[in-house]
């Protein structure tokens, strides 16, 4: 085939492009901050261990939300029903996996002692 | 300069290891020489290796799986032979070597045979079944293929340079930690698994999106063919399960490379955490391997009974139920590990629940056959062989779930999971391979050699694994390199004979392929619909054009192609053709895979400069693909019309497929 005909790229209006770049930057900054907090806490041991655990857990969940919101552009608008179903299903599965892991780990721990 | 790599890594220490290494080296050199001699490098590169066409990628996946099946089987045969002779003696394999072999056998079978085989079938079939022209992410598909191939290449090169892991396919710490296993073996395992697992996770995402977003107009979820349903559920499992394995392997790597303490015995590490992470993947993985086979069986049964599948809805719900249950019950692998009785009670009962949807599925097939006129083609034989043997497997699974019976960690367990994985998965892939081969290549596979292969496999399977059930009751532990109980040997010799039958099965499959290629003119399927099929993939040409469907069909129910044939319509031919836009080929996938191989190999041997080169290469490949502005081309309507008018259309109603 001779030189394939060119395809026009999806037009992106300048305003939209700017807003996405801004969104990505905000996301990166938030992600970095949320990474720095746990590492900082562990390095300095500023809190008691159990408190550090809790903060790390919260930072991890927040991190996931930031990724979904700023990088995968998920929102809770009802327009995207598929997304919502997928998100709910993921939530349930993650709950089972995390809950089950915590259950078994504490159970084993308890029996070891 | 070369990290841990020295001349001692070459296998001069053992004749058997040297033999293996030489076979690998000569096989690679032979293939290179052959392609050069035929002058086909350019063709191979432009038409296959760099192709983003999902059918071609699928064929390459299946080729990879079949090649690795040979390697994985040779491992199995070596173990069988060792156990057949090692009564009161060392046999011919030293313990370290035996351990490497059962580790590599299982790693290969799970990651480089089963997964590529089923992903290959997805690729060839699913887009056509849903009336799509391409996958949602064609480049990612190619990248995943080459990541998987890079992982397989790592396992292969470990035969030549260094040794593979001896820690079993699950690489449990603390034995797999640097303290007990300072050699590169476990690192080979970690990197091979990482590359393959990343590829599988991304593949799951790719097909999930494709099935959700790219179905033909009118095809509601409850109209999808059962193979597509199986694929969808498998993809969901892949997306949720593989990250867990990736994390487990990566954290084990951090322990080994950077002296961290995730899973070490002391310093706050916890071995059980690894076990949990591993089985969060490992348990669903069994269903990742089995569900696609179930999907194949459903298609095969419907087609060769010549009627609509019985109880379509209940089969769909069963598939979904298996999916959800399999995500929940991974903790039953703690049954033997001292979990509290409430944990045991819950999961001891939850695991057998899965028998219910499985039974529903099997009855669906039986009723379909009962009501139809069954043609005993090779795919159908594999299906029937599966049904018979799987019933045995299911009953033994129930025995295993009865916690107090102490047969865990014996050869009973080995027999049980091979019963799930050989008839339950491998036979399904074989059935799919036989069934869709004419779809991909335009000619059928020989029946005669196919039947012989089937009989060799099924007889071999029974001979090889029924003795292991018995040995399990007699108390023979798994992974045994030598033993002192003369009562075991007769059973192990029978098992060896079984393995030899399976060897014949593999040889017959190869003969079948060669004979079919030679007779391809006689076996050709000019209409593209050799079996009088029901689902949309048979509406395209065989082999299909790059774009699959010149006109995307409208779907009004299940079995749309059957409905079209009943209505007297053949492949839809429009008044006017339109331009079709397809993705361009890309070499970035191959480069990505090659560079991942370089990176992983360098990390294994701790050659840091080479690792940097590999990492840069990976980055460059991804970047170049990301910034390609014109990654698609337009096939003009005139060309589409030319291709379509060359096609011989199926007569409106094909009566009876060739048997
Ligand atoms: C083709 C015929 C096959 C034969 C003859 C065979 C034979 C064997 C043998 C002898 C063992 C060692 C048992 C022991 O520990 O005492 C083994 C282990 C294993 N095989 Fe197979 N196998 C076959 C196919 C497969 C397939 C298709 C799969 C998976 C898809 C598979 C997965 C495994 C696994 C996971 C192990 C456990 C390895 C370990 O202990 O770490 N095998 N097999
Ligand atoms: Cu399990």
Asked if residues B416 and B361 have their Cβ atoms less than 8 Å apart, the reply is: no
Asked if residues B31 and B24 have their Cβ atoms less than 8 Å apart, the reply is: no
Query: What is the whole-number distance in angstroms between the Cα of residue B452 and the centre of ligand 1?
Result: 23
Tokens 């060799």 belong to residue: B456
Residue from B66, B71, B75, B76 to probe ligand 1 pocket by mutation (most atoms less than 8 Å from CB): B76
Q: What is the pLDDT of residue B472?
A: 87
Q: What is the pLDDT of residue A27?
A: 93
Q: What is the pLDDT of residue B329?
A: 78
Nearest ligand 1 atom, CA B411: 16
Angle between the A14-44 and A49-66 helix axes, to the nearest 10 degrees?
Answer: 170
Query: What is the whole-number distance in angstroms between the Cα of residue A92 and the centre of ligand 2?
Result: 20
Q: How many angstroms away from the CA of A97 is the closest CA of chain B?
A: 7
User: Where is pLDDT greater, at B355 or B285?
Assistant: B285
**Percent of chain B clearing pLDDT 70 (strictly above):** 93
**What is the average per-residue pLDDT within B188-192?**
98
Instruction: Please judge whether B240 and A93 are an interchain contact, meaning their C-beta atoms are less than 8 angstroms apart.
Output: yes
Residue nearest (by alpha carbon) to ligand 1 atom 33: B106
**Cα separation of B648 and B187, whole Å?**
54
What contacts 24+ positions apart, CB below 8 Å, involve A22-26? A23/A70, A23/A73, A24/A70, A24/A71, A26/A70
Query: What is the whole-number distance in angstroms between the Cα of residue A28 and the centre of ligand 2?
Result: 39
Burial class (CB in 10 A: 0-12, 13-18, 19+), B385: buried
Q: What is the pLDDT of residue A105?
A: 80
Q: Is B519 in the pocket of ligand 1 (CB under 6 A)?
A: no
Which of B232, B268, B330 to probe the A interface (max A CBs under 10 A)? B330
**What is the average per-residue pLDDT within A7-27?**
63
B23: pLDDT strictly greater than 80: yes
Residue nearest (by alpha carbon) to ligand 1 atom 32: B106
Instruction: Please judge whether A7 and B639 are an interchain contact, meaning their C-beta atoms are less than 8 angstroms apart.
Output: no
**What is the average per-residue pLDDT within B524-545?**
91
Q: What is the pLDDT of residue B404?
A: 53
Instruction: Please judge whether A105 and B273 are an interchain contact, meaning their C-beta atoms are less than 8 angstroms apart.
Output: yes
A102 pLDDT band, cuts 50/70/90, is confident
Residue nearest (by alpha carbon) to ligand 1 atom 22: B76
B562: pLDDT strictly greater than 60: yes
- Closest listed residue to residue B176, CA positions, set B285, B280, B262: B262
Angle between the B427-441 and B378-401 helix axes, to the nearest 10 degrees?
Answer: 150
B2: pLDDT strictly greater than 90: no
pLDDT, tens only, B65-105: 999 999 999 999 999 999 999 999 888 998 889 999 999 99
**Percent of chain A clearing pLDDT 70 (strictly above):** 73
Q: What is the pLDDT of residue B657?
A: 36
Instruction: Please judge whether A6 and B630 are an interchain contact, meaning their C-beta atoms are less than 8 angstroms apart.
Output: yes
Nearest ligand 1 atom, CA B414: 13
B555 pLDDT band, cuts 50/70/90, is very high
Tokens, residue B212: 């959700």
Q: What is the pLDDT of residue A47?
A: 87
Peptide bond before B233: cis, by omega within 30 degrees of 0?
Answer: no
Q: Is B595 in the pocket of ligand 1 (CB under 6 A)?
A: no
B658: pLDDT strictly greater than 80: no
Q: What is the pLDDT of residue B363?
A: 93
Please tell me which residue of chain B has the smallest CA distance to A10: B629
- Reported pTM: 0.93
Residue nearest (by alpha carbon) to ligand 1 atom 39: B168
Which stretch of DSSP H or E encloses residue B580? strand B580-583
B354: pLDDT strictly greater than 90: no
**Cα separation of B558 and B534, whole Å?**
9
Q: How many angstroms away from the CA of A30 is the closest CA of chain B?
A: 23
Q: How many angstroms away from the CA of B163 is the closest CA of chain A?
A: 34
Instruction: Please judge whether A105 and B280 are an interchain contact, meaning their C-beta atoms are less than 8 angstroms apart.
Output: no
Asked if residues B389 and B423 have their Cβ atoms less than 8 Å apart, the reply is: yes
Q: What is the pLDDT of residue B340?
A: 54
Instruction: Please judge whether B634 and A4 are an interchain contact, meaning their C-beta atoms are less than 8 angstroms apart.
Output: yes
- Closest listed residue to residue B431, CA positions, set B365, B521, B494: B365
**Cα separation of B286 and B233, whole Å?**
13
A75: pLDDT strictly greater than 80: no
Please tell me which residue of chain A has the smallest CA distance to B635: A4
Residues of B whose CB is below 8 A from A111: 338-340
- Count Cβ–Cβ pairs < 8 Å, chain A vs chain B: 58
A17 pLDDT band, cuts 50/70/90, is low
Nearest ligand 1 atom, CA B77: 5
User: Where is pLDDT greater, at B158 or A86?
Assistant: B158
Which of A10, A85, A108 to probe the B interface (max B CBs under 10 A)? A108
Instruction: Please judge whether A110 and B331 are an interchain contact, meaning their C-beta atoms are less than 8 angstroms apart.
Output: no
B1: pLDDT strictly greater than 80: no
For residue A101, give the nearest of B276, B328, B584 by CB distance. B276
Residues of B whose CB is below 8 A from A98: none
B143 pLDDT band, cuts 50/70/90, is very high
pLDDT, tens only, B203-252: 999 999 999 999 999 999 999 999 999 999 999 999 999 999 999 999 99
**Cα separation of B464 and B604, whole Å?**
36
Q: What share of chain A is helix, strand, coil (3-state, %, to 5)?
A: 75, 0, 25
Residues of B whose CB is below 8 A from A53: none
Instruction: Please judge whether B338 and A108 are an interchain contact, meaning their C-beta atoms are less than 8 angstroms apart.
Output: yes
Q: Which residues line ion ligand 2, judged by CB < 5 Å?
A: B 283
Q: Is B418 in the pocket of ligand 1 (CB under 6 A)?
A: yes
Q: Is B628 in the pocket of ligand 1 (CB under 6 A)?
A: no
- Ligand number nearest CA of B176 is 1
Which of A4, A6, A88, A102 to probe the B interface (max B CBs under 10 A)? A4
**Percent of chain A clearing pLDDT 90 (strictly above):** 27
b/e per residue, B176-211, with b = 16+ CB within 10 A?
bbbeebebbbbbbbbbbbbbbbbbbbbbbbbbbebb
Residues in chain A whose beta carbon is closer than 8 A to a beta carbon of chain B? 1, 4-7, 9, 82, 89-90, 93, 96-97, 100-101, 103-105, 107-108, 110-111
B405 pLDDT band, cuts 50/70/90, is low
Which of B279, B339, B350, B626 to probe the A interface (max A CBs under 10 A)? B339
Return the C-alpha torsion angle B241, B243, B249, B251, nearest 10. Answer: -130
Q: Which of B45-54, B298-307, B567-576 has the lowest mean pLDDT?
A: B567-576
Tokens, residue B426: 């491998």
B655 pLDDT band, cuts 50/70/90, is very low
**Cα separation of B609 and B2, whole Å?**
9
A20: pLDDT strictly greater than 80: no
b/e per residue, A24-59, with b = 16+ CB within 10 A?
eeebeebbeebeebbeebeeeeeeeeeebeeeeeeb
Instruction: Please judge whether A101 and B340 are an interchain contact, meaning their C-beta atoms are less than 8 angstroms apart.
Output: no
pLDDT, tens only, B580-619: 999 999 999 999 999 999 999 999 999 999 999 999 999 9
DSSP code string of B83-129: HHH-BTS-TTS-HHHHHHHHHHHHHIIIIIIIHHHHHHHHHHHHHHH
**Cα separation of A66 and A56, whole Å?**
15
Q: Is B133 in the pocket of ligand 1 (CB under 6 A)?
A: no
**Cα separation of B375 and A13, whole Å?**
60
Mode of pairing for the β-strands spanning B632-635 and B580-583 = antiparallel
- Ligand number nearest CA of B420 is 1
Q: What is the pLDDT of residue A79?
A: 63
Calculate the average pLDDT of chain B: 90
B659 pLDDT band, cuts 50/70/90, is very low
**Cα separation of B646 and B579, whole Å?**
18
Q: What is the pLDDT of residue B347?
A: 55
B349 pLDDT band, cuts 50/70/90, is low
**Cα separation of B343 and B120, whole Å?**
38
Q: How many angstroms away from the CA of A100 is the closest CA of chain B?
A: 8
Return the C-alpha torsion angle B555, B561, B565, B567, nearest 10. Answer: -10
Residue from B75, B97, B103, B105 to probe ligand 1 pocket by mutation (most atoms less than 8 Å from CB): B105
Q: Is B86 in the pocket of ligand 1 (CB under 6 A)?
A: no
**Cα separation of B401 and B408, whole Å?**
10
């Amino acid at each position: 085939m001779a030189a394939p005909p060119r395809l026009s790229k999806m037009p992106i209006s300048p305003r939209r492009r700017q807003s996405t770049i801004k969104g990505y930057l905000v996301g990166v900054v938030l992600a970095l901050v949320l990474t720095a907090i746990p590492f900082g806490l562990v390095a300095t041991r500023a809190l008691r261990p159990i408190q550090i655990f809790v903060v790390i857990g919260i930072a991890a969940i927040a991190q996931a939300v930031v990724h979904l919101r700023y990088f995968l552009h998920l929102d809770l608008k009802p327009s995207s029903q598929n997304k919502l179903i997928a998100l709910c299903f993921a939530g349930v599965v993650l709950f089972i996996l995390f809950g089950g892991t915590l259950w078994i780990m504490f159970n084993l721990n308890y029996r070891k002692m | 300069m070369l990290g841990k790599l020295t001349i001692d890594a070459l296998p001069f220490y053992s004749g058997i290891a040297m033999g293996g290494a030489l076979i690998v080296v000569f096989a690679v050199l032979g293939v290179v020489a052959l392609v050069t001699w035929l002058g086909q490098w350019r063709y191979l590169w432009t038409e296959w290796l760099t192709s983003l066409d999902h059918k071609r990628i699928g064929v390459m996946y299946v080729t990879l799986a079949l090649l690795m099946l040979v390697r994985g089987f040779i491992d199995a045969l070596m173990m069988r032979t060792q156990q057949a002779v090692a009564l009161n003696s060392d046999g011919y394999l030293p313990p370290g070597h035996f351990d490497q072999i059962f580790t590599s056998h299982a790693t290969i079978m799970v990651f480089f045979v089963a997964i590529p085989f089923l992903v290959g079938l997805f690729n060839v079939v699913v887009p056509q079944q849903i009336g799509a022209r391409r996958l949602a992410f064609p480049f990612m598909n190619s990248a995943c293929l080459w990541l998987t191939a890079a992982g397989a290449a790592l396992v292969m090169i470990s035969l030549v340079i260094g040794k593979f892991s001896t820690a079993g396919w699950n690489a449990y710490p603390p034995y797999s930690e640097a303290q007990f296993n300072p050699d590169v073996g476990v690192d080979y395992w970690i990197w091979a698994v990482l590359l393959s697992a990343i590829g599988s996770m991304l593949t799951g995402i790719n097909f999930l999106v494709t099935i959700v977003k790219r179905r033909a107009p009118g095809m509601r979820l409850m109209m999808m063919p059962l193979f597509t349903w199986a694929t969808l559920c498998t993809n969901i499992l892949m997306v949720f399960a593989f990250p867990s394995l990736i994390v487990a392997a990566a954290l084990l790597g951090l322990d080994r490379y950077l002296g961290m303490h995730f899973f070490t015995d002391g310093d706050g590490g916890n071995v059980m955490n690894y076990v949990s992470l591993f089985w969060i993947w490992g348990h669903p993985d069994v269903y990742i391997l089995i569900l696609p086979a179930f999907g194949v069986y459903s298609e095969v049964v419907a087609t060769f009974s010549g009627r609509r599948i019985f109880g379509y809805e209940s089969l769909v719900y069963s598939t979904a139920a298996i999916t959800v249950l399999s995500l929940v019950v991974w903790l039953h692998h703690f049954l033997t590990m001292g979990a509290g009785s409430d944990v045991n009670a819950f999961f001891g009962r939850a695991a057998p629940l899965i028998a219910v949807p499985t039974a529903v599925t099997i009855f669906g097939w039986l009723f379909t056959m009962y009501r139809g006129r069954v043609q005993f083609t090779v795919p159908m034989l594999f299906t029937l062989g599966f049904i018979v043997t799987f019933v045995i497997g299911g009953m033994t699974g129930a025995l295993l779930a009865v916690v107090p019976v102490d047969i865990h960690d014996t050869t009973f367990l080995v027999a049980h999971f091979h019963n799930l994985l050989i008839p339950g998965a491998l036979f399904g892939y074989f059935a799919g391979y036989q069934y869709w081969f004419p779809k991909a290549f335009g000619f059928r596979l020989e029946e005669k050699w196919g039947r012989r292969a089937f009989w060799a496999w099924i007889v071999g399977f029974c001979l090889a694994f029924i003795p292991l059930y018995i040995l399990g009751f007699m108390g023979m532990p798994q992974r045994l390199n030598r033993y002192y109980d003369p009562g075991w040997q007769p059973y192990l010799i029978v098992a060896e004979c079984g393995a030899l039958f399976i060897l014949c099965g593999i040889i017959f499959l190869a003969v079948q392929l060669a004979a079919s290629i030679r007779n391809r003119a006689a076996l050709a399927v000019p209409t593209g619909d050799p079996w009088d099929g029901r689902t949309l993939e048979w509406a395209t040409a065989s082999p299909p054009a790059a774009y699959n469907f010149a006109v995307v069909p409208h779907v009004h129910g299940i079995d749309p192609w059957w409905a079209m044939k009943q209505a007297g319509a053949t492949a839809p031919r429009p008044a006017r053709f339109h331009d079709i836009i397809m993705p361009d080929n890309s070499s970035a996938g191959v480069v990505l895979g090659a560079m991942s191989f370089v990176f992983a190999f360098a990390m294994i041997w701790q050659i840091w400069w080479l690792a940097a080169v590999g990492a840069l290469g990976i980055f460059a490949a991804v970047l170049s693909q990301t910034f390609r502005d014109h990654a698609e081309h337009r096939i003009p309507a005139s060309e589409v019309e030319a291709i379509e008018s060359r096609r011989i259309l199926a007569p409106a109603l094909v009566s009876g497929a060739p048997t």
